[in-house]
Structure 1
Amino acid sequence: MNQPELLALVDRLRGLPRETEWLEFKHNNTDPQEIGEYLSALANEAALLNQPRGYLIFGIEDASHAVVGTRFDPYTTKAKGNQDLLPWLAAYLQPNTGIEPHCLDHPDGRVALLAVGPARGRPVDFQGQGYCRAGTSKTKLANHPEKARRLWSQGVDWSAAICEGASLADLDPEAIAKAREQFQIKHPNQAQELTTWDDRTFLNKARLLRKGAITHTAVLLLGRSEAATLLSPAVAKVSWILKDAGNHELDYAHIGAPFLLAGDQLMQHLRNLTVRAMPSGTLFPQELSQYDPWVLREALHNAIAHQDYLRHGRITVVEFPDRVLITNVGDFLPGTIRTVIEQDAPQELYRNRMLADAMVELNLIDTQGGGIKRMFETQRRRSFPLPDYDLSASDRVQVTIPGRILDERYTRLLMQQPDLSLIQVILLDRIQKGLPISRDEHQQLKKQRLVEGRFPHLIVSASVAKATGDTARHIRERGFEKKYYLDLILQLVDEHGPVARKEVDALLLPKLPERLSEEQKREKVHNLLQELRRAGRIERQGAKSAPRWALLQSPASGRQRDC
Structure 2
Amino acid sequence: MSQQRDTDLINELLAQGSETDWLEFKKDNFEPEMIGVRCSALANAARLIGKDTAYMLWGIDDATLSVIGSKFNPHTQKANGQELAFWLARQLQPSIPFQFRRIEHPHGNVVILEIPAATAAPVAFKNIPYIRIGSATPKLTDYPERYQQLIERLRPYTWEHAVARQYISGDDVLDLLDYSSYFKLTKQPLPDNRQGIFDKLAAERLIHQDVGGHWNITNLGAILFAADLTQFDSALARKAVRFTAYLGKNRAAQVSHRVEGKKGYAVGFEGLIEFINSILPKNEHIDVALRTEEPLFPTIAVREVIANALIHQNMTISGAGPQIEVFQDRIEITNPGKPLVPADRMIDLPPRSRNEALASLMRRMGMCEEQGSGLDKVIASIEMFQLPPPLFREEGNAMQVVLYGPRHFAQMTPEERTRACYQHAVLKFLTGERMKNATLCARFGIESRNASQASVVIKKAKEAGLIREADPEHPRAGYVPQWA
Alignment TM-score, normalising by the size of structure 1:
0.42
**Larger Cα-atom Rg:** 1
Alignment TM-score, normalising by the size of structure 2:
0.48
